[in-house]
Amino acid sequence: MTEKEKMLAGEVYNCLDAELAAERRLVKARVHTFNTATEVSEQQAILQTLLGRMGQNVVIEPPFYCSYGRHISIGDHSYLNFGCTILDNNEVWLGRHVMVGPSVQIYTATHALSAVARNRGLETAKKIVIKDNVWIGGGAIILPGVVIEENAVIGAGAVVTRNVAANTVVAGNPARVIRTISIEFNI
């Protein structure tokens, strides 16, 4: 199994692998081109080649950063505000109508606790799923392996370390449920 195959399977892999490093360098150049493009049509064309899947009416405000790009899937009518970082060492799924605030960070990579293992480049990556109609407030951090269910709201600055139930608002570090959302219209 290659290091990339191990990475995508959620197994321990070496992030210092030459093949992975070369792929990240290419993506870094493409991301730079996206971030410096001034025409929306040019930005959209770059995103179509960068991301694994991008639905209709998706808006990503530059600057945007990612590790590989191809492991990111974004559903229709989703919006990622300025400064979003997605470390997509494993799959990241964003559903439809997902709103991502400025400076949100989504991390699939998790490093070994042992300094010896970290220094050797050993890590794992866990898939993240963000379902339909989720709103993630500015500066929030989503950690590896998390599933955020439909209609949830993540408070600004929250650090999400575990799964979030549908129709709930979570906030804090670590994020915890602070209220339930009724399905009727409210602000």
153-154 vs 168-171, strand pairing mode: parallel
Extract the tokens encoding 181: 């959302």
- Residue 32 annotated to the active site: no
- Cβ atoms 85, 106 nearer than 8 A: yes
Q: Give strand ranges (E) for 52-152.
A: 53-54, 59-60, 64-66, 72-74, 79-80, 84-87, 92-94, 99-100, 105-107, 109-111, 122-125, 128-130, 135-136, 141-142, 147-148
SS3 186: coil
DSSP letters, 37-59, are --SHHHHHHHHHHHSSEE-TT-E
Q: Point out the catalytic residue in the list 71, 77, 97, 111.
A: 111
Known catalytic residues are 111
